[in-house]
Amino acid sequence: MVKALFSAVASAALLSVVSATPVPDSEVQIDDLLGFDASYVNTLGVDDSKIPEAITLTVEDVANETSTQIEPFLAPGVDAATLEERFIEGADDRKQYTGTAYPFISVGRIQWSNGVYCSGALVGPRHVLTAKHCLISGASATFSAGYDNGSHKGQAQVTTTVSVTTNGGECGVKNDWGVMIINKRLGDSNGYFGVKHVDKSKIGQTGFNHVGYPGDRSTNGQRPFRQTNNKVLAEHGYGCDTYGPLSTNTDCAGGQSGGPFWETLNGNQYYIWGALSVGVTSGGKAWAKWGSGNTMVSTVGRLRTEFP
Ligand SMILES: *[C@@H]1O[C@H](CO)[C@@H](O)[C@H](O)[C@H]1NC(C)=O
Ligand SMILES: *[C@@H]1O[C@H](CO)[C@@H](O)[C@H](O)[C@H]1NC(C)=O
């Protein structure tokens, strides 16, 4: 199973954290939430020889960049008027979503030429935020915005991946985010998300959103699913430092890794707080943990400048 083959640093590291709770290890399950679709192995449909360049920064490299939030972009012609209405689902379960409005066309499916797939979101004209453990070395990749069972709202090849070095533990989860640079400015037409620090005054609140491509709800994660009314949890997380990582009650399965968790401000401004890192079940409860926080936000701001 791909979970074992591509087990992430973050999920391995998380074991030590979870075992600190009074729950037998045998009852703790951690999933790095990667998807695997054998039909794409070496048949990505792009130049499979184009392996993205991998750039690894250190946390210190971006520590001097102190923005607490990076702004979103609503593309001309993109309709945000009906968004609040579209979010109203009532239940907090994942539901298949077939709409093609912003910001959903800024979320997309990442497919690697070794079969691994993940979720991600545009956070700049050609910047896609995903999980660090979704950055596969030695393979090529495409990002398909607004992907739904073969149709999409723009597709581009990944040219560069950027992440920061981590030493595992809770900080490994906090920094289990990565940014992919793609070869087309899809964000100009689709719009893109902002990113911001976790706002701790909103712990315990609901109303946050997530979209991803779970492999348990459609074959090989071909269909997008969203969960509305996600709740930010107080009882797990913030184990690295004052900035993260973020924990929520989001339902998740393989394929959703890297998918965005966002808050809506002023009706139509969308700010990602985190990219899905791992799902944890322990003591009969399940929750999700997210790559999130200051270093992620700083890096997105920096990359918007360095990769225009
Ligand atoms: C932060 O440090 C990096 C690396 O030293 C440098 O390239 C960058 O210009 C600095 N940024 C700011 C905002 O000072
Ligand atoms: C995708 O579309 C094909 C062709 O219309 C259909 O047969 C298939 O069931 C769809 N797959 C999913 C997962 O909905």
Question: Does residue 32 lie within any of the structural domains?
Answer: yes
- Which of 8-17, 139-148, 182-191, 253-262 has the least mean pLDDT? 8-17
CATH number (domain holding residue 184): 2.40.10.10
pLDDT of residue 47: 67
Section 3-8 average pLDDT = 29
Round the average pLDDT of the chain to a whole number and report it: 83
Question: Does residue 99 lie within any of the structural domains?
Answer: yes
- Which of 48-52, 107-111, 199-203, 255-259 has the least mean pLDDT? 48-52
CA 64 / ligand 1 centre spacing (Å)? 6
Residue 292 to residue 302: CA distance in whole angstroms: 16
Atom 6 of ligand 2, nearest CA residue? 149
Question: Does residue 196 lie within any of the structural domains?
Answer: yes
CA 180 / ligand 2 centre spacing (Å)? 28
Domain that holds residue 225: 8-306
In 3D space, the residue among 105, 87, 121 whose CA is nearest the CA of residue 229 turns out to be 87
Q: Count up the domains in the chain and report the number.
A: 1
Question: Does residue 153 lie within any of the structural domains?
Answer: yes
Question: Does residue 240 lie within any of the structural domains?
Answer: yes
Question: Does residue 2 lie within any of the structural domains?
Answer: no
Confidence of residue 90 (pLDDT cuts 50, 70, 90): very low
pLDDT in tens, 25-61: 455 677 778 889 888 887 776 666 788 999 999 999 8
The letter for the amino acid at 156 is: A
Atom 4 of ligand 2, nearest CA residue? 149
pLDDT in tens, 140-193: 999 999 999 999 999 999 999 999 998 888 999 999 999 999 999 999 999 999
Residue 1 to residue 193: CA distance in whole angstroms: 33
Atom 13 of ligand 1, nearest CA residue? 65
Q: Which of the pair, 25 or 113, is modelled with greater confidence?
A: 113
pTM, two decimal places: 0.85
- Please give the share of the chain, as a percent, with pLDDT higher than 90: 56
Ligand nearest the Cα of residue 67 is 1
CA 175 / ligand 2 centre spacing (Å)? 35
CA angle (68, 70, 71) in 5-degree steps: 135
Q: Which two tokens stand for residue 7?
A: 């087990």
